[in-house]
Amino acid sequence: MSIREYWTHPWGRRVLLVLVVLALLAPVFGAASERVGYTEPLEVAAEETGASGSADPVTSTPLAEYSVPGLPAPLGTLASALLGSAIVLVSMLALSRLLARGQ
């Protein structure tokens, strides 16, 4: 099955739809986790051992924390989810084709 056939196949389209739905849900889950006070065990461990202040990013990105400058947080999260998914999709498609061709 070629890549074009895959996307025109009902299963391929359904998978793409799932990706879009997941991206649409991201801002909803983001808001919900904010309400309960988002904390991961990694942050708890950092606080417990006094490491919290040691985080020191060596690079900066305009899309830090899955936000987009100028956009409200929910829209920024949605845009980040769509953009990130698209980049991962395209890069893995390209890598897979490259690896398959190399065999």
Partner 1 sequence: MHIPDGYVDLPIAAVFAIIAGVTLAIAARRSGDRLEGSQAPLVGVTAAGIFAAQMLNWPLPIPGGTSAHFVGGAFAGIVLGPHLGVLAMSAVVVVQALLFGDGGLTVLGANVFNMAIVEVYVGYAIFRIGRRWNDVGAAFVAGWVAAGAGAIGVAVQLGVSSAFNYELLTVLVIMGGGHAVLGVVEGVITAIVYQAVIRSRPDILPSATREVAV
Asked if 6 touches partner 1 (CB under 8 A), the answer is: yes
CA distance 17 to 23: 10
Whether the Cβ atoms of residue 43 and residue 33 lie closer than 8 Å to each other: no
Cα dihedral across residues 8, 12, 17, 22: positive or negative: negative
CB of 35 to partner 1, least distance (A): 7
Please give the residues from 36 up to 95 whose contact with partner 1 meets the rule CB under 8 A.
36-42, 44-46, 48-51, 54-61, 63-66, 77, 80-81, 83-93, 95
Asked if 17 touches partner 1 (CB under 8 A), the answer is: no
CA distance 69 to 1: 41
CA distance 60 to 75: 21
List of residues contacting partner 1 (CB under 8 A): 1-3, 6-7, 11-12, 14-16, 18-19, 22-23, 25-26, 29-30, 32-33, 35-42, 44-46, 48-51, 54-61, 63-66, 77, 80-81, 83-93, 95-97, 99-103
